Amino acid sequence: MPARRGLLGPIGRRIGPGRLLAGGLLVLLLLLRISDPPAVEALRVRTFDALQVLAPRVPPAERPVAIVDLDEASLKAFGQWPWTRTRLAEICRKLQEAGAAVVAFDIVFSEPDRLSPPLLAQTLPDLSEAARADLRAQPDSDRVFAEAIARMPVVLGQTAASTPIAWTGEGPPPQTGTAVVGTDFDPEAALIGFPGLIRNLPLLEQAAAGRGVFTISPEGDGVVRRVPLVLRAGGTVVPTLALDILRVATGADTLLIRTDEAGVVSIRLPDLTVPTDPRGQIWVRFSPHDPGLYVSAKDLLNGTVPAERLRDKIVLVGTSAVGLLDNRTTPLDRSMPGVEIHAQLLENLLTGATLTAPNEATLIEAGATAAVSLAIILFAPILGALGLLLFGGIVAAQLAFVSWYRFTAHGVLFDATYPLLTTFLVYLTLVFTNYFREQAGRRRIRTAFGRYLSPDLVEQLAHSPEPLRLGGEERRLTIMFSDVRGFTAIAEFYKEDPAGLTALMNRFLTPLTHAILERQGTIDKYMGDAIMAFCNAPLPVHDHEAQAAAAALDMLARMDALNAARRREAEAGGHPVLPLDIGIGINTGACVVGNMGSDLRFDYSVLGDPVNVASRLEGQSKLYGVKIVLGAATAEAIRDRYPVIEIDRVQVKGKSEPETLFTLVGDEGFRRSEPFRQLAARHAAMIAAYRARQWDETRAGAEACRALAKDLRIDGLYALYAARAETFLREPPPADWDGVTIATAK
């Protein structure tokens, strides 16, 4: 098991978590497409609806189909439905005279005509015997209708029923012949089925040339998109109305059904092969509702319809009257009469404008989905965000074009939506994985720098990590070293209480750290009681010298506050206390800053000669009796804002060239004060006298400066110069003395 983890670990790291997650999602989405749950199908069919809306079918110039409409005007003229069958027989006669090729009724006549004279003789009360005899002598309306049907090719409509219905005629009912070619075919499993079939009166069924089911079942959302050409009803395979109309029109006796392992492949008539889906359904390519298809039954019966309007056409008799409830929703219309759907389907079949969704469409769409998604997964790290966006846009446009072209040019339904949706989800997975990975990187940056940078700088660095360059970069920095004076004595004081020493270190290092971080400084490292910090990296700080100076002053103020608090605690507890005192060295110069160390451990740190000088300057603070020692570059950068005075010219240990040292004696407000101007002038005069070997003047100047600076805590500096003047009065320096002090200690 450990070996397996060792194998998968490098593979996972090489592929990347984003790719692994996107690949897993792709597999799940491919399985979802193959299983094709209702939600996926609903998305697909709505895409096909959009194609139909954008490119509806253009009807042929010569319409092969017409509709005799039992419209509102006809019902108003001849009374409510149902009409007597003799009037329907007259419609058949008018259509025969007009030269109609085939007549089909989108109506089922399952019950005897209630207006038939012989039936009225039985049902009407209060009739005289003479009247009853006269009615009985009249021809039966259903027989008149049957005779009219028998004179021409007529297809009667049937409708599916939810319960079995027995045939009431003598002998078996008329049946359209079907033959199956292909693999073993189980209509029970393959075809849409209904328990029962509502037929017409046996008299009418036997007279008709054909019979077809006109039941139109909308899909789950109530939209009619597909209609079956054959279905199973009443325990037998029956054709739908449009298919049996074509069978009668072509003179065929039998329907040829071709099948494969998936179900129905196609249905064949002479000179016509219609591909279907596995359930024997066909997609209807709709055109918008067309009133030009319709002829009012009133106008036909009144003889006002030109014969050429109906000659050699397939004529459907149906209704658009709202009260007869035969309207359906299609992709193009919210309310289309059911009879027009049959008419449009017939035009699809007769003009070759049918839509097909091949049985292998699922595999094709799944293959396109896999290919595009894998390309996204493979090329995402290479292309980058903009490249990936352009690539995705090109792929989306190509898929949309393929779907559009196959629909408009070949009538083939190719679903581009699922491949696009899948690739978009895969793309989002990669994006969000990269986002979370970036967030993790930001958390790592926050963890790595949270203890060394201010929170504001950490956030800037987390959102823009570009300043972090492996191996380091050259940058001008201001470096700061601070150290506690007399820490050895303090450590000895706590030799019996190491935990107390640790607590004390944390107590004074914490405020000093905050003083640095709040001035945009970076903590490089802690060295026992000492702190090394720098400013202007990893993020640039335009006034880093001034920020370092402000941090140093704040550090002194915080140490004063800490010492005052410790004194109060000592007085309350009745125990002695050793005050804490720090020295600070600050220097500015070009350094190398970056991630430094080994391949096992590295730190963000700084290297360079200015770092070494800053460390030496901190060491000189004790010798010169000042709190802060500045290098020349730092002093030059801040002297217009802060009160800076020169200390000495010193050749620090390890350096061959002397450094001019300065000290910071107050804040920006003190720089503008009159006391500082007086001190600065007397101090400059003292330094000039010292370098001019004027020892009496130097001693007098030191005493005068000490009086002016009595509240600045730099008495040690002037005591040092007074002592030097006394020494040189007794033992003058050599003739080649240049005023440079050679430092013997760090």
Domain boundary at 351, 370, 401, which? 351
Between vectors from CA 524 to CA 521 and to CA 525, what angle results, nearest 5°? 130
Domain boundary at 444, 477, 511, which? 444
Q: Residue 3 above 50 pLDDT?
A: no
Helices (H), 174-324: 187-190, 202-207, 241-250, 297-302
Q: Count CB-CB contacts under 10 A for residue 47.
A: 18
Distance (Å, whole) CA 59 – CA 55: 12
- Look up residue 322 and give its DSSP letter: G
Residues 341 and 372 reside in one and the same domain: no
Domain contains 239: yes
Q: Residue 355 above 80 pLDDT?
A: yes
Residues 583 and 555 reside in one and the same domain: yes
Which residues 6+ apart lie within 8 Å of 18 measured at CB?
380, 429, 430, 433, 434, 437
Distance (Å, whole) CA 229 – CA 348: 13
Residues 74 and 223 reside in one and the same domain: yes
Domain contains 681: yes
Residues 586 and 477 reside in one and the same domain: yes
Which tokens is 420 given? 């696009």
Q: Residue 469 above 60 pLDDT?
A: no
Domain contains 458: no
Residue 462: the pLDDT is: 57
Which residues 6+ apart lie within 8 Å of 584 measured at CB?
480, 481, 482, 552, 555, 556, 618, 621, 627, 628, 629
Distance (Å, whole) CA 670 – CA 642: 8
Which tokens is 134 given? 């006269």
The residue written with tokens 């959009």 in the block is: 50
pLDDT higher at 380 or 454: 380
Q: Residue 573 above 80 pLDDT?
A: yes
Domain contains 629: no
pLDDT level of residue 189 (50, 70, 90 thresholds): confident
Residue 468: the pLDDT is: 52
CB of 411 closer than 8 Å to CB of 353 = yes
Which tokens is 8 given? 């998968």
Q: Are strands 193-194 and 230-233 parallel, antiparallel or unpaired?
A: parallel
Residue 18: the pLDDT is: 72
The rounded percent of the chain whose pLDDT value lies above 90 is 49
Q: Residue 730 above 90 pLDDT?
A: yes
Which residues is 603 bridged to in the sheet? 596
| pLDDT tens profile 132-160 | 777 787 888 999 999 999 999 999 999 99
Residues 321 and 431 reside in one and the same domain: no
Distances (CA, A) of 646 to 627, 658, 715: 14, 14, 14
| pLDDT tens profile 293-310 | 999 999 999 999 998 899
Domain contains 744: yes
Q: Residue 611 above 60 pLDDT?
A: yes
The tally of CA atoms less than 13 A away on the side-chain side of residue 698 is 23
pLDDT level of residue 583 (50, 70, 90 thresholds): very high
| pLDDT tens profile 538-553 | 889 999 999 999 999 9
Q: Count CB-CB contacts under 10 A for residue 730.
A: 7
Distance (Å, whole) CA 275 – CA 410: 13
470-490 average pLDDT score? 87
Residues 363 and 314 reside in one and the same domain: no
Distance (Å, whole) CA 357 – CA 359: 7
Distance (Å, whole) CA 508 – CA 530: 11
Cα 275 off chain centre by: 39
Residues 431 and 299 reside in one and the same domain: no
Distance (Å, whole) CA 279 – CA 192: 6
Residue 8: the pLDDT is: 42
User: Mapping DSSP to helix (H, G, I), strand (E, B) and coil, where does residue 743 land?
Assistant: coil
The rounded percent of the chain whose pLDDT value lies above 70 is 91
Please name which of 413, 437, 431 lies closest in space to residue 360, comparing C-alpha atoms. Answer: 413
Which residues is 597 bridged to in the sheet? 602
Domain that holds residue 486: 468-603
Residues 542 and 649 reside in one and the same domain: no
Residues 76 and 49 reside in one and the same domain: no
Number of domains making up the chain: 4
pTM over 0.75: no
CB of 524 closer than 8 Å to CB of 517 = no
Distance (Å, whole) CA 17 – CA 118: 85
Which residues 6+ apart lie within 8 Å of 229 measured at CB?
239, 240, 242, 243, 267, 274, 276, 280, 281, 282
Domain boundary at 330, 351, 372, which? 351
pLDDT level of residue 200 (50, 70, 90 thresholds): very high
Distance (Å, whole) CA 99 – CA 243: 21
Residues 570 and 649 reside in one and the same domain: no
Cα 338 off chain centre by: 42
Residues 332 and 379 reside in one and the same domain: no
Distance (Å, whole) CA 343 – CA 335: 15
Domain contains 610: no
Distance (Å, whole) CA 20 – CA 563: 58
Distances (CA, A) of 444 to 170, 326, 679: 89, 68, 50
Domain contains 608: no
Residue 513: the pLDDT is: 93
Residues 159 and 294 reside in one and the same domain: yes
Mean of the per-residue pLDDT values of the chain: 86
CB of 568 closer than 8 Å to CB of 452 = no
Distances (CA, A) of 587 to 426, 633, 659: 53, 7, 11
Domain contains 475: yes
